[in-house]
Homo-oligomer: A and B are copies of this chain.
């Protein structure tokens, strides 16, 4: 980020370190404070949505004041981020730059009394900002192993989810044809709704808002459940296998280095360096 553009100097460099990095004490304090403000502001948005709280005048005013406060804090942060980077557009049009903007703006609408119901959505975006701060977690060993296993599982999981989707479309259509004519039936009114039912069933969620009424429908539903029971094993198997592999890689960090070529990564039972043939 710093290499390509003219380097920041003086107080802007210092601000950059505080706002964008977390190596210094000031940077850590900034990140943790921001994390707390984001979480509190999201909690405020949640509480505002509860009718019994937003209906109470005292609480409503308190939440409005909080909104004022958070809007000002996030505005200052937004300005600081623009100043502390040598090329402002790089931040403004980045993923987090857009989220910062969109999640701060609705605060102004609300505090100035514009009708803000639809803008509530944007304020909830603030939660996404937590992830930026949590980027640090990437350096935690645990999260790294988890990430590696997940990234390596992704192609297999994608293939699997596509297959699941195909199965639910076919089974949903089948159930629509079976249950649709039944006079006692209140669900299964269209194929998309039947597919929704098939997903609810196959994933073992089972709301029960739509249930088969005919004996044939129940038999097929039972079949779907047993299939779902068996295929839930598949993603688990995929991730388990990757985790076993990841864990193994973690373990087998044989730290022995060849004295001739100084390469590492030898197997535990190796007697000779596999790269240069020197005796270990």
Whether A239 lies near B234 (C-beta < 8 A) is yes
Chain B contacts of A16 at CB under 8 A? none
9-residue interface stretch from A88-96, A105-113, A150-158: A150-158
Whether A277 lies near B271 (C-beta < 8 A) is yes
Q: Which of A50, A200, A267 has the most CB of B within 10 A?
A: A200
A6 to B39, CA, bound (A): 52
**Residue A242 lies at the interface, judged by CB distance under 8 Å to chain B:** yes
Minimum CB–CB distance for A73 against chain B, Å: 20
What sequence of 0s and 1s flags, for each residue 164-206 of chain A, a beta carbon within 8 Å of any chain B beta carbon?
1110011001101100000000000111110110011111111
A159 to B147, CA, bound (A): 11
What sequence of 0s and 1s flags, for each residue 112-127 of chain A, a beta carbon within 8 Å of any chain B beta carbon?
0000000011001001
Copies held by the complex: 4
Q: Which residue of B lies closest to A131 (CB)?
A: B166
Whether B127 lies near A173 (C-beta < 8 A) is yes
Whether A234 lies near B150 (C-beta < 8 A) is yes
Chain B contacts of A145 at CB under 8 A? 156
9-residue interface stretch from A21-29, A79-87, A225-233: A225-233
Chain B contacts of A45 at CB under 8 A? 173, 191
| Interface of A (DSSP majority class) | helix
Decide yes or no: A241 and B246 within 8 Å by CB, A204-B205, A274-B267, A277-B271 being known contacts.
Answer: yes
Chain B contacts of A72 at CB under 8 A? none
A250 to B77, CA, bound (A): 49
Whether B50 lies near A190 (C-beta < 8 A) is yes
Q: Which residue in B174, B229, B272 is a CB contact (below 8 Å) of A275?
A: B272
Spell out A's residues near B (CB within 8 Å): 42, 45-46, 49-51, 120-121, 124, 127-128, 130-131, 137, 140, 142-143, 145-146, 149-150, 153, 155-161, 164-166, 169-170, 173-174, 176-177, 189-193, 195-196, 199-209, 211, 215, 218-219, 221-222, 225-226, 228-230, 232-247, 251, 265-267, 269-279
